[in-house]
């Protein structure tokens, strides 16, 4: 197994959360990212918004939200691929409400469908119980046609 990469910030995990092991240099750059266990074996992912994540208006940059979604929807796709790697084919997002510095943004993922070659995953990003972004994505299972 690869060694996790360090994030440039030392941010304590919120109560009930643990730091996610990140292996992608870009994801590590925007981290730390966190995770916690939910019902029935599901995991919820999160990050605490800081000044690196916002645009000129002080709201989380859409690119950060897509990076965060890609990291954990990709994790769901990779788990569904059962040891085979996956790459993003497409991702569609609807931005509903902004997050701001200090918010804990959560990502809830859902495996929608799986074929031999394509995995369909959706996600919901929220803060304080309010939806911020909804995402749907397609993932190519490497080595499958």
Query: Where along the chain do its domains lie?
Result: 18-141
92-113 pLDDT per residue, tens? 999 999 999 999 999 999 999 9
- Continuous segment of H or E residues that includes residue 79: helix 62-80
Which CATH superfamily includes the segment(s) 18-141? Answer: Hotdog Thioesterase (3.10.129.10)
Reported pTM? 0.89
Q: Edge to edge, what strands does the sheet with 86-95 contain?
A: 18-19, 34-37, 43-48, 104-114, 118-127, 130-141, 86-95
19-61 pLDDT per residue, tens? 988 888 888 888 899 999 887 777 899 999 999 999 999 999 9
Q: How many whole angstroms separate alpha carbon 118 and alpha carbon 52?
A: 33
* Mean pLDDT across 79-85: 88
């Amino acid at each position: 197994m690869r060694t996790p990469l360090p994030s440039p910030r030392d941010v304590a995990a919120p109560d009930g959360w643990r730091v996610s092991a990140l292996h992608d240099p870009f994801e590590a750059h925007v981290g730390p990212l966190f995770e916690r266990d939910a019902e029935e074996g599901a995991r919820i992912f999160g990050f605490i918004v800081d000044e690196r994540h916002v645009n000129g208006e002080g709201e989380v940059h859409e690119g950060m939200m897509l990076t965060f979604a890609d990291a954990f929807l990709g994790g769901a796709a990779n788990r569904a691929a059962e040891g085979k790697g996956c790459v993003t084919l497409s991702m569609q997002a609807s931005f509903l409400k902004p997050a701001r510095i200090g918010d804990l943004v959560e990502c809830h993922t859902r495996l929608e469908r799986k074929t031999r070659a394509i995995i369909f995953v959706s996600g919901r990003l929220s803060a304080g119980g309010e939806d911020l972004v909804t995402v749907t994505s397609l993932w190519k299972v490497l080595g499958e046609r």
